[in-house]
């Protein structure tokens, strides 16, 4: 049999010796019987309680095809960019009405039994995450899908999805919470409301002990700026977040990425132990080590969306050997098959891509008749593949000399389908009758949410206050606000105490500076914190932890004490150092105004704006805050013009100073003696903006 070229080193070697080495390498890999798994535990890690037999599930996915929209504006290829689309409009071309789609998964079929660990392996872009997301019911709305995913023969519903653990590749955790706090708040929201608080605490303690997190349970998660737990511990906390509900199915997206080999080995060993308790564990793995590979029960190798191998993990090397690709001595099996899937293995007469397409064709032909994949036992033979594929596997001399692609009816790569697909054609291919849905009826007396609505608001409010303690109550914030407040107070020292027009102008300056600084400071903080909180909300909503309205209400309620705590010190310093109106009512009105104002654009720097565009000021938050500030400080007071002189006690010098209309003299945007309608406008804007944000979040999370 022909060797596999220079890249494969030793060649095929003696067949008997090679088969013996494969058996030795794969010894102990088969552990599908959960009840008989007697493997050694990781130090410090204990087994969780098993899943009851009546709650164990078999996960199957049949003929899964996924189509992703392309970025082009027109044409089947979808390769035209934005400017190409604009150019076509100028030239009179009519762009396509329907978006083009690119197929990313091609008829993938497989299953995973309770007690098994199924690994999705393949190079980047092979479709691992797309398949895992589809199995977990988290495919993006823009995707088009074919095929079905069944849990014991039933489709997954929203209610049932809350009992399926899904660990994302990115560890989305609140950096300022400790390990215990992270899991405890999750337990309060996710565990059944019939459990007492003490039982939930015991559940958290059990998960922490099971994952070996006792030593770091009181350590914050941490991030780039604050040191916390290690990367391996972060990943185990993410797993523990899902283990709280004791899921029957646990899905993980590249849980070993970024971890060293030993830490990754311990994590997968923990997953192996969790599977032995009657759970289905399906995980994507980027590049497993040889020891880690031995812990896998089943393997699905993906290459550009196609299944290159599916079956027992310990039989993969034998599969490729019988198809003409012998693994070099001393090479990790995972590395070798990843090279095959990446088209990095070639022969003297076949390119790497031709080898890859030949193996895909063999796999698809075999799986069409053997949906359970490669199980071992009997040798492969010609009847399973057809004469062409089998001849190519045995010798490949005929194909190698011609250097031509395999026939279309053999490899079925569907190149045309990857360039553009009509969404109507995809939807027409979907099954017309939906099978029964897993979790559609639910247990009698069960609840959709683990906590009641009021409990959700209370728990989320308490968590929001704790998660923002480092951002809003940090030493840096205290120092910044106090330093700037003292400096501003010195610049405008007691300018507000004299009722002449010169100091009135100075007072307007400090009022606007106070408004500008606090609004801008809070706005920038929101810009940096919103993306992270939005991702966290999407993750938790997908797990069914709480209602969106409860989250938004708790987050809004936590804004007031957390946002106003430190800025209030800034306002107090400026207010008394600048000598603003010494009245309790005026002080508290000014403090309340600061909490309502936000920064957009205002009418402070430009006077006499034309009427045809002047109405735009009513769309500005800061305009109403500015007007409210002027009324608080100047309302009901008399100011004097002393001919440009900054005289103290101007009211006692009638010969030099005379009363003036402050609005006319300083061209203020409003009369400071009128009713405080601007405060109502601020409240209205506050409510309107938050309602609009809630509606936008509701639309974005409609499918969660």
Q: Tell me the sheet residues that pair with 301.
A: 121, 309
> Is the whole model's pTM more than 0.85, yes or no?
no
Statement: residue 323 has pLDDT above 90: no
Q: DSSP characters for 357-422? A: HHHHHHHHHHHHH-TT-B--SSPP-GGGT-HHHHHHHHT-HHHHHHT-PPPHHHH---TTTTT---
Q: What is the dihedral of CA 447, 450, 451, 453, to 10 degrees?
A: -60
Nearest of 162, 143, 132, 171 to residue 253 by alpha carbon: 132
Contacts of 144 (CB under 8 A, 6+ apart): 66, 67, 101, 421, 423, 426, 427
Give mean pLDDT, residues 10-22: 45
Statement: residue 438 has pLDDT above 70: no
Contacts of 594 (CB under 8 A, 6+ apart): 514, 515, 518, 564, 567, 568, 571
- Domain boundaries defined on the chain: 6-163+247-438, 471-700
Q: Taking each helix axis from N to C terminus, what angle separates 501-542 and 475-491, rounded to the nearest 10 degrees?
A: 160
pLDDT at residue number 490: 85
| CA–CA separation, 465 and 562 (whole Å) | 7
Whole-angstrom Cα Rg for the chain = 34
Q: What is the dihedral of CA 238, 242, 246, 252, to 10 degrees?
A: -80
Give mean pLDDT, residues 588-597: 69
Q: What is the mean pLDDT of the chain?
A: 75
Give mean pLDDT, residues 497-526: 76
Cα angle 51-177-471, degrees, rounded to a multiple of 5: 150
pLDDT at residue number 650: 82
Whether the CB-CB separation of 496 and 578 falls below 8 Å is answered with yes
Bigger pLDDT: 249 or 171?
249
Statement: residue 660 has pLDDT above 80: yes
Confidence of residue 301 (pLDDT cuts 50, 70, 90): very high
Count the residues in the chain: 704
| Fold exhibited by the domain 6-163+247-438 | Rossmann fold (3.40.50)
| CA–CA separation, 200 and 193 (whole Å) | 10
Q: How far is CA 326 from CA 9, 295, 331, 389, in A?
A: 10, 22, 11, 17
Highest mean pLDDT among 168-172, 365-369, 445-449, 628-632: 365-369
When mean pLDDT is compared across 59-73, 179-193, 608-622, 623-637, the lowest value belongs to 608-622
Q: What is the largest CA-CA distance in the chain?
A: 119
pLDDT at residue number 309: 92
């Amino acid at each position: 049999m022909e060797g596999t070229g220079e890249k494969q080193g030793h060649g095929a070697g003696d067949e008997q010796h090679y088969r013996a080495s494969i058996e030795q390498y794969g010894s102990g890999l088969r552990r599908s019987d959960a009840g008989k798994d007697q493997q050694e535990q990781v130090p410090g890690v204990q087994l969780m309680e098993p899943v009851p037999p009546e709650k164990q599930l078999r996960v199957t996915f049949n003929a899964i095809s996924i189509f992703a929209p392309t970025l082009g504006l027109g044409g089947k290829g979808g390769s035209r960019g934005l400017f190409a689309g604009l150019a076509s409009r100028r030239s009179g071309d009519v762009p396509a009405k329907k978006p083009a789609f690119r197929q990313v998964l091609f008829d993938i079929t497989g299953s995973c039994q309770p007690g098994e660990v199924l690994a999705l392996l393949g190079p980047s872009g092979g479709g691992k995450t797309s398949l895992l997301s589809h199995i977990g019911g988290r495919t993006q709305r823009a995707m088009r899908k074919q095929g079905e995913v069944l849990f014991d023969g039933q489709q997954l519903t929203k209610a049932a999805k809350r009992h399926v653990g899904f660990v994302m590749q990115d560890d989305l955790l609140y950096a300022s919470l400790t390990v215990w706090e992270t899991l405890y708040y999750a337990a309060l929201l996710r565990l059944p409301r019939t459990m007492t608080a003490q039982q939930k605490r015991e559940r958290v303690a059990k998960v922490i002990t099971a994952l070996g997190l006792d030593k770091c349970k009181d350590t914050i998660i941490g991030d780039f700026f604050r040191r916390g737990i290690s990367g391996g511990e972060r990943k185990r906390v993410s797993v523990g977040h899902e283990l709280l509900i004791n899921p029957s199915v646990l899905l993980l997206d590249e849980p070993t990425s970024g971890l060293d080999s030993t830490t990754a080995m311990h994590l997968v060993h923990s997953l192996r132990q969790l599977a032995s308790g009657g759970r289905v564990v399906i995980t994507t793995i980027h590049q497993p080590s040889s020891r880690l590979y031995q812990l896998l029960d089943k393997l699905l190798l993906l290459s550009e969306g196609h299944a290159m191998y599916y079956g027992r993990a310990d039989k993969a090397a034998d599969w490729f050997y019988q198809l003409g690709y012998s693994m070099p001595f001393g090479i990790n099996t995972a590395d070798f098959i990843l090279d095959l899937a990446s088209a990095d293995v070639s022969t003297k007469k076949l390119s790497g891509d031709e080898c890859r397409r030949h193996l895909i064709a063999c796999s698809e032909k075999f799986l069409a008749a053997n949906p359970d994949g490669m199980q071992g036992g009997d040798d492969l033979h010609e009847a399973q593949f057809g004469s062409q594929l089998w001849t190519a596997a045995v010798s490949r001399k005929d194909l190698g000399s011609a250097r031509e692609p395999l026939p279309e009816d053999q490899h079925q790569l569907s190149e045309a389908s990857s360039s553009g697909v009509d969404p109507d054609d995809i939807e027409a291919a979907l099954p017309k009758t939906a099978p029964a849905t897993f979790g559609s009826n639910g247990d009698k007396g069960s609840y959709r949410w683990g906590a009641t609505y009021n409990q959700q608001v209370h728990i989320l409010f308490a968590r929001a206050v704790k998660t923002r303690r480092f951002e809003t109550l940090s030493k840096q914030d205290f120092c910044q606000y106090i330093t700037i407040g003292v400096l501003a107070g010195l610049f405008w020292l007691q300018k507000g105490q004299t009722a002449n027009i010169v100091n009135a102008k100075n007072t307007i300056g400090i009022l606007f500076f106070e408004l500008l600084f606090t609004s801008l400071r809070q706005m920038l903080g929101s810009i940096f914190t919103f993306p992270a909180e939005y991702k966290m909300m999407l993750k938790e909503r997908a797990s069914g932890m709480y209602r969106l309205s409860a989250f938004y209400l708790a987050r809004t309620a936590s804004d007031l004490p957390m946002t106003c705590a430190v800025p209030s010190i800034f306002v107090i310093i400026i207010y008394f150092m600048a000598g603003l109106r010494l009245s309790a009512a005026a002080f508290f009105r000014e403090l309340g105004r600061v909490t309502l104002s936000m920064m957009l654009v205002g009418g402070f720097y430009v006077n006499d704006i034309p009427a045809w565009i002047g109405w735009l000021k009513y769309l500005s938050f800061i305009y109403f805050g500015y007007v409210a500030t002027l009324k608080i400080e100047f309302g009901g007071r008399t100011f004097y013009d002393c001919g440009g002189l900054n005289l103290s006690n101007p009211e006692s010098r009638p010969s030099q100073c005379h009363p003036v209309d402050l609005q006319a003299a300083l061209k203020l945007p409003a009369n400071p003696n009128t009713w405080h309608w601007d405060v109502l406008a601020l409240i209205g804007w506050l409510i309107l903006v938050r309602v609009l944000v809630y509606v936008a979040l509701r639309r974005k999370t409609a499918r969660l």
